[in-house]
Structure 1
Amino acid sequence: MSIDHDVRDLTDPADRRAAYAVFEGSLLRGSSSDEDWAAHGQAADEHWLGVYTADGEVAGCANSFPTRLTLPGGDRVPAAAVSAVGVRADATRAGRLSALMRAQLTAARDRGDVATVLHASESAIYGRFGYGVASRAERVRLTSRPDWRPEAPAGGRVRMLDRSAARQVLPALQERLAGARPAGMTATARWWDRLFSTGPTATGFLGTAVHRGPDGDDGFAVWSVAAGDPVRDEPEEIAVAQLWAATPAATAGLWRFLAGIDLAGAVRAWGRPLDEDLDLLLADPRRHKVLARTDDLWLRVVDVAAALGARTWGDARPVVLRLHDPVLGGSGTWSVGSGGARPAADAAPDIECSVASLAPAFLGDRAPSSLVAAGQWSEHTPGAAARADAVFAVPGPVPWCGTPF
């Protein structure tokens, strides 16, 4: 039996504060201090939802904020970035998360968002709401002071900034760089404020460096220092929080700089794009290790027509795609190819998928033929998977979000 849960828009700061405490509890951590919440927990453009018990207590929450998401071809579309999703431990397994997700997806579509996106704390729960992995990333380690291949790009000048200068310079630079890669999105002002805070909530040492190429600033890195172990004679390591670069030369220049910092034994970075290929720059490629590969950005298309219409398609003969979206009622049949996307309600589908399994191909992370081979897509016309590969393929970098939220 289905239950109509009490889902509410939360506009009162006290209600949002209570909802966020539920979220923090769902992550098994203590509540933020009032000072931290006052400094970083209240943004006017956020959309908070809460689900309530019969006794009027908040039992779960979901938050989102507006952003712009870069699609293959470079168009940037409005999207809702989802965060702070959680249900109280004594209120789970009762359909409350499903009620929150349906309400959030519907609200995002009604506001004009093309998609919703998130970073998943639990990767097993979002597929049933239409989300799929749209980009992946790697955790890497580079031993400090490696020998670089003589032909490897040297990069340009790198200069360091203090927190105040970095807060002024980096947001606009990151905004520009995020528009050059599918899955790129803008970091929020709140995130920048928290990162470069000089108040009571400030972190410890934080290094910032900007790379300057022939046409001006074209990359930056932000890092902290991970403590070493003097008993085991293990030195400190550079822990990279952000590294963005517009060109291979800027990428090489920033990594050379980080790997050359004195007293550090290695550089570790989380969430790096799959096409960074640092090993190709090294005389000994084993100095660079991929420690893990994981999901990066999860995507859920909420306006199918707008999403398919905004994306650039490969110069190939169209395929007819049937898409299933039972949650939002966005199911339909579309012809997609070099001429764009158009409804094809009366056409027999060449290929078929759910809205969740569209996500891996939509930004270019996976080829449709790989999804057919994995059983996530169905091929109805022989050769349609290969044609779909050509249709979905767009020259450029692999998708990568790189933006925490």
Structure 2
Amino acid sequence: MARNKPKTSRPKSYLLRNLLSSLLFIFAISLLFYPIVVNYLAGQQNAKSVQQYDERLSTIGTSRVKELLEQAQLYNAQLYNEYIYDASQHIPWNKPFPNYNNVLKVDDSGMMGFITIPQINVNNIPIYHGDSEKTLALGVGHVPQSSLPIGGINSHAVLPAHSGRVNDTLFTNLDRLKTGDVFYLHVLKLNLKYKVNDIRVVAPNQVSSLSIEKGKDLVTLVTCYPTGINNKRLLVTGERTALTKVSPQEKIQRNRFGYNFWVMSGSGALGLVGILYLLWWLLGLRNSLYQVAVEKLEKPTLADGQMTGEFGEGFYLTNSKKMAKLWLADLAEREQLNPEQLVLNVYRLKKAKQLSRWIFKEKTENWVRYINEKQGYGDKKHALVVGPMAVTDKKVMQYVLKSEEALEHLKYIKTLKKGGSER
């Protein structure tokens, strides 16, 4: 009768499947953390740009900063006068002044300042001249036909930025702001605070709300809406308020439970599961094998636990604690013993590949022959035989060690009393 060859290694298909599963898992984790990593890198780049901007301001001196501010104020005044005139003549307003790119020019980077929106974690994002796609790829832009963001009455600066980008959050969470929230502009040496007083969604060509309002100091933040569809524009307008005025509402975090929160929370939960699994594995709870005995056996021998069963004579164990308890009850009844006198010894099988083995993963034809023809009684070839039990349909395996050499591969973990508690 043909027999299975002793199993000494796992099939290549199994190893390949494990390798592919591991690679897919790593790839999935990488995709999950990619937005967090690239946003962190973008934040570092923004911080570097802001630092260079501040250093440049210090280098050019106070008099030059004052001169740049006066030029910008004159620019806004002329812009307002032109706007009022064209409005009175019903001429559409769509033109910046010719010297636009030279106003608020601290260096050749095109950066005119930076913006902070604490309630949605927008921290020091650079503001650049213009609203071209190239400009918006760098950070927040400025619509040339609007006032420069230096504050002052009769001004209305319009600052657009992208949303929904994977590599930089920018204005992605702008829709979370509420009326009464605030944002800050830092231009030259100015620190300006604006309190949100109007939030609206409009069509791309509806720009009437971006007009300059006489006597008011306004800034409107603009982004595409809704994220991913982008067929509308979200306008969040703020009016200048004193820096010293701080309301309780300003301390509310609007995106506390954003993407980063859920990814980090999920990762933390997975990490905790991983640690618990590692502890479970290290404590021997993984692949635990149970053996019924009358006493604790830290270094068992065949004489200590020789039994006769479906796989012939040997030292019998099972991977099911429930089945081990049934064995215990059966032994107590058969030998007329008090069940409280019996224990379950818990082991883990180590370096089993070094043993000559015969493993039945399922109730195959060979498994039936091995049991029915009682091949286990004369089996001197295999030191370890593993297979399912005939008395149950569940995946309960029995392990039979047939030599003293095989018993040396058992690592003792602990001993349980009948109730399952440690002894």
TM-score w.r.t. length of structure 2:
0.19
Greater fraction of residues in strand = 1
TM-score w.r.t. length of structure 1:
0.20
Greater fraction of residues in helix = 2
The structure number with the bigger radius of gyration is 2
